[in-house]
Structure 1
Amino acid sequence: MSTLEIEEKSVEDAISLACEKLKLPPEKLEIEVLSKGSSGIFGIVGAKKARIRVSAKELPAEAARERAKEILSEILKHVDLPTVVESESKNGHIYLNIISNGSGLLIGKRGKTLQALQYLVSKIVQKETGENVSIIVDTENYRSKREDSLTELAQQLCEKVKKSRRPLTTGPMNAQDRRIIHLALKEDQDVRTKSKGEGNLRRVVIYPVKKGKKSHKTVPGEENTRE
């Protein structure tokens, strides 16, 4: 959790500023008074500001969700489209759904625009809170449709690998799409999957498993690489 040191004319003013910066009420803050300050002689000579050290006691899920919604709404003001942002906390994730005119502009090619919005909102919230908050941005039910499409692709490639007994490689995919491929084939003991490549060129390779050799499949972390 991030910690701030704040100086103001009084402890009360410093606490008020801390609440404004962290967007939390005083009862949600850990406050350490480093200096109460002094008014000096006649309120001028030798005057010292009060100084406090403050951090959030606990990241409130509700506050994080509202802040994420606020950030995305501000970003979308620069897009020439009427939009409304809905937010929901579910299974440890913050879901932000953009309601728009259905033009697909906010999705972009293969979801790149949507992914960029998600990345930007996540980074801002993480920087402000000091916490690794999981944020998923969606519109027009794109995430669900994309998952169904990638799952179907994974099954098609899997069948080809089984018939040819040769590995096949997907096109370049982001981490979220690669995860879907890995999970789609996780339970199939006749193939194994592995991510290869660097950066934006990273892909999933589907390998046939030799007869008599069991496939040890794990899905560690976000990358879901299976050796």
Structure 2
Amino acid sequence: MREIEVKGQTEEEALNEALNTLKAEREEVNYERISESDDNGVALRVSFKGPEETVKALIRYFLGELGFKASVRIKRDSRGLYMNIKTKRSDRLLIGKHGETLFALQYLISRIVRRDYPTLSVLIDVGGYRLRRQNYLRRKAEAVARIVVETGKEMAMDPLTEKERRIVEEVLKDIAGVTCYAIGTGHKQNVIIVPSHEGK
């Protein structure tokens, strides 16, 4: 929802009603009067200034419904929006076991955002968890690959999402003598690192 129309006895009342409905801050919206009379008060058309404000308000709305108080920081680059959520003491709860709660929030927000911004990529993070996770996966893939090269025996990593598997695959491209394949079905699959002459 990027735009709504609201009425109030005064412009301030109408604008506050819109901000409450959109879960937005005043600096995140544009508004214009669409009607005005002594009897009916003031009607405003209120809209977000851009996708950053839209996504930020969506996140605030869902977090509020879940009982979380948090701040949201936005970074935009050529790949899209990176939204980092920070709570006072609830980051682990919002991330969930192995990131499951975070991934669910990511899926929900992305589906809603695509309705208005079909080409916009949005990455949701909590307390920098994704960055730490990516660094961990790179180190783990390198360590397992070294063992595979030294022993000549295949080794399995923990079940990984599709995006996490791509991180591992990128790391292994730069390591001679190993390759990998995935087994299993569903959201997460096991990645097996093998000597390249034994790869499937």
**Structure 2 match to 1:140:** 127
Q: Scaled by the length of structure 1, what TM-score is found? A: 0.61
What stretches of structure 2 of length at least 5 have no aligned partner? Answer: 5-48
1:148 to partner: Cα distance: 1.5
**Structure 2 match to 1:55:** none
8 Å Cα contact 1:172/1:200 also seen in 2: no
Distance in 1, Cα, partners of 2:89 & 2:123: 19
Establish whether residue 195 from structure 1 lines up as the match of residue 171 from structure 2. no
Higher strand residue share: 2
Q: 1:155 aligns with which of 142, 147, 166?
A: 142
Distance in 1, Cα, partners of 2:158 & 2:86: 30
The aligned amino acid for 1:113 is: T
8 Å Cα contact 1:76/1:83 also seen in 2: yes
The aligned amino acid for 1:80 is: G
8 Å Cα contact 1:81/1:101 also seen in 2: no
8 Å Cα contact 2:162/2:187 also seen in 1: no
Change (3 A) 1:83 1:201: closer
**Structure 2 match to 1:33:** none
Q: List structure 1 segments (4+ residues) > 6 angstroms apart after TM superposition.
A: none
The aligned amino acid for 2:61 is: E
1:132 to partner: Cα distance: 3.8
Distance in 1, Cα, partners of 2:66 & 2:122: 20
Q: 1:98 aligns with which of 70, 79, 85?
A: 85
Distance in 2, Cα, partners of 1:149 & 1:108: 17
The aligned amino acid for 1:120 is: L
Establish whether residue 112 from structure 1 lines up as the match of residue 100 from structure 2. yes
Q: 1:121 aligns with which of 109, 118, 133?
A: 109
The aligned amino acid for 1:197 is: G
Query: 1:2-50 CA distances to partner (integer Å, 9 max, x unpaired)?
Result: xxxxxxxxxxxxxx98xxxxxxxxxxxxxxxxxxxxxxxxxxxxxxxxx
Establish whether residue 85 from structure 1 lines up as the match of residue 72 from structure 2. yes
**Structure 2 match to 1:180:** 167
Identity %: 29
1:209 to partner: Cα distance: 1.6
Q: Give secondary structure in 1 for the equivalent of 2:65.
A: coil
Distance in 2, Cα, partners of 1:208 & 1:86: 43
**Structure 2 match to 1:65:** 52
Distance in 2, Cα, partners of 1:75 & 1:182: 34
8 Å Cα contact 1:92/1:134 also seen in 2: yes
1:108 to partner: Cα distance: 0.8
Change (3 A) 1:92 1:205: same
**Structure 2 match to 1:12:** none
8 Å Cα contact 1:86/1:96 also seen in 2: yes
8 Å Cα contact 2:162/2:188 also seen in 1: no
**Coordinate RMSD, CA, aligned:** 2.4
Q: Give secondary structure in 2 for the equivalent of 1:199.
A: coil
1:172 to partner: Cα distance: 1.4
**Structure 2 match to 1:20:** none
What stretches of structure 1 of length at least 5 have no aligned partner? Answer: 1-15, 18-61, 212-225
8 Å Cα contact 1:66/1:87 also seen in 2: no
Q: Scaled by the length of structure 2, what TM-score is found? A: 0.68
